[in-house]
């Protein structure tokens, strides 16, 4: 339990944070009217907040240590967990009804709730697909890509521009946009994938910014900061649709897309290339020694991740009927990364839950929507420090030997 020493330490931590946040939290100057506002109440919040957070963190660590102690006593290194999530996934008796209920809820959803809600849900579904796409790159192959939004932008702009210049429709551009994004992925990946992980992160970040800046400044090509408007929504065999209907259509389309993505990603993870990705993430050198072509494997991960981003980009353009460079900032990449990290790298269910939580919560807690990015940033740090495996850790498919090996 918490001792007196911890309380004293928490008090000191609170004092330190009072000092640390003093100029920025307490003082607010107005240089135009030359007035100073002293916001002393903030000081109180900071002190109370840091005091309590320190104690919570401390409790968490004490619990963790106690748990490890117990495990050591029992002589087991790690208990194979059979908690609810895993049972839900492995036992068909539980798995199939859950899936059925979820499917029914998803299908009925747009008929019960307003168009506004459906729109939010479409966005959340888009982020699920983006998260699953980035999950291939970051979670499975272990390549930190901070410019993921660039591929998303490529997809969105390819629909906008191909429609503008050649009059191509949504269904033609959907695979095209994906492929264009994938080829951009290969184009970028080819030179930089030789680099070590952290260099890769910064180059992809730079690449994302380059794409955005080009879109912003090259007026003849992309219409600059004002963007491209009047992009048609997806059609359904030339049927005329009202706004509500087409949003509902888009919703079902997104559901289909999510299911398709889950299917493909799941199959990929257990395939030969998927196993190569996991191996590459764990140890590059050992992986090469096993005869896996490092560059090719990384490039495939990069291109496939970009492919999903490109497709979602096309859908994004169709959904908003308008694209401009402001939608493709670094923060967007950060949000998607946050989804992957929170969900658990490599875990499909985790990514889905994380995307839904991170996208829907700020919508329904409007009062806190200003704090959204603050919370995202904090989440990344807290998850890395306390639970690096994410809310739902991946369970790799394992094989057990049926027969005991006989020793002769």
Binding site for another protein (CB under 8 A): 16, 19-21, 23-25, 27-29, 31-32, 34-36, 42, 138, 142, 144, 146, 191-192, 194-195, 197-199, 201-203, 205-207, 209-210, 213-214, 217, 285-286, 330-331, 334, 337-338, 341, 370-371, 373-374, 376-381, 384-385, 388
Q: How far apart are CA 111 and CA 118, in angstroms?
A: 9
How near is the Cβ of 61 to another protein at its closest, in Å? 10
Please name every residue paired with 401 in a beta bridge, in sequence order, or none if there are none: none
Identify the H or E element spanning 254.
helix 243-269
Select 78 or 82, whichever has its Cβ closest to another protein: 78
Select 108 or 187, whichever has its Cβ closest to another protein: 187
Select 66 or 195, whichever has its Cβ closest to another protein: 195
Render the burial of 131-162: b for 16+ CB within 10 Å, e for the rest. bbbbbbbbbbbbbebbbbbbbbbbbbbbbbbb
* Contact call for residues 226 and 216 (beta carbons, < 8 A): no
How near is the Cβ of 285 to another protein at its closest, in Å? 5
Select 287 or 314, whichever has its Cβ closest to another protein: 287
How near is the Cβ of 328 to another protein at its closest, in Å? 15
57: three-class secondary structure by DSSP: helix
How near is the Cβ of 31 to another protein at its closest, in Å? 5
> What backbone phi and psi angles, to 5 degrees, belong to 323?
-125, 140
Q: Other C-beta atoms within 10 Å of 175: how many?
A: 13
Q: Other C-beta atoms within 10 Å of 366: how many?
A: 8
How near is the Cβ of 407 to another protein at its closest, in Å? 32
Select 262 or 299, whichever has its Cβ closest to another protein: 299
Select 247 or 332, whichever has its Cβ closest to another protein: 332
| Listed residue (120, 115, 183) closest to 155, CA to CA | 183
Q: How far apart are CA 155 and CA 216, in angstroms?
A: 16
How near is the Cβ of 170 to another protein at its closest, in Å? 31
Select 38 or 260, whichever has its Cβ closest to another protein: 38
Q: Other C-beta atoms within 10 Å of 90: how many?
A: 11
How near is the Cβ of 32 to another protein at its closest, in Å? 8
Identify the H or E element spanning 35.
strand 35-38
Cα 355-299-158 angle, rounded to 5 deg: 65
Name the DSSP letter for residue 36.
Answer: E
């Amino acid at each position: 339990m918490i001792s007196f020493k911890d309380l004293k330490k928490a008090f000191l931590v609170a004092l330190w944070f009072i000092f640390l946040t003093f100029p920025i939290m307490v003082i607010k100057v107005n240089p135009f009217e030359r007035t100073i506002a002293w916001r002393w109440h903030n000081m109180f919040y900071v002190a109370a907040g840091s005091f309590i957070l320190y104690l919570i963190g401390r409790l968490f660590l004490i619990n963790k240590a106690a748990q490890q102690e117990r495990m050591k006593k029992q002589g087991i290194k790690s208990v194979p967990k059979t908690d609810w999530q895993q049972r839900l996934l492995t036992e068909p008796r539980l798995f199939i009804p859950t899936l059925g209920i979820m499917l029914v809820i998803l299908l009925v959803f747009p008929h019960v709730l307003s168009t506004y809600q459906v729109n939010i849900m479409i966005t959340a579904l888009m982020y699920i697909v983006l998260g699953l796409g980035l999950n291939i790159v970051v979670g499975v192959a272990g390549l930190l890509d901070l410019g993921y939004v660039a591929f998303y932008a490529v997809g969105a702009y390819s629909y906008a521009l191909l429609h503008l210049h050649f009059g191509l429709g949504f269904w033609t551009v959907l695979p095209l946009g994906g492929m264009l994004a994938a080829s951009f992925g290969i184009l970028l990946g080819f030179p930089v994938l030789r680099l070590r992980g952290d260099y890769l992160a910064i180059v992809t970040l730079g690449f994302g910014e380059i794409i955005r800046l080009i879109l912003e400044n090259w007026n003849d090509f992309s219409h600059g900061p004002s963007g491209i408007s009047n992009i048609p929504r997806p059609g359904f065999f030339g049927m005329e649709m009202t706004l509500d209907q087409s949003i509902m259509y888009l919703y079902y389309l997104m559901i289909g897309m999510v299911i398709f993505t889950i299917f493909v990603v799941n199959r990929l993870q257990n395939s030969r290339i998927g196993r190569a990705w996991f191996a590459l993430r764990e140890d590059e050198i050992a992986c090469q020694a096993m005869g896996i072509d490092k560059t090719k494997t990384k490039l495939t991960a990069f291109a496939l991740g970009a492919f999903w981003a490109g497709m979602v980009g096309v859908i994004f353009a169709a959904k908003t009927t308008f694209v401009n460079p402001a939608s493709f900032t670094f923060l967007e990449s950060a949000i998607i990364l946050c989804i992957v990290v929170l969900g658990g790298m490599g875990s499909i269910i985790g990514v889905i839950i994380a995307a839904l939580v991170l996208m829907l919560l700020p919508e329904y807690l409007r009062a806190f929507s200003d704090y959204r990015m603050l919370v995202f940033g904090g989440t990344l740090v807290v998850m890395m420090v306390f639970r690096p495996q994410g809310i739902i850790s991946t369970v790799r498919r394992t094989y057990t030997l049926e027969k005991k090996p006989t020793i002769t």
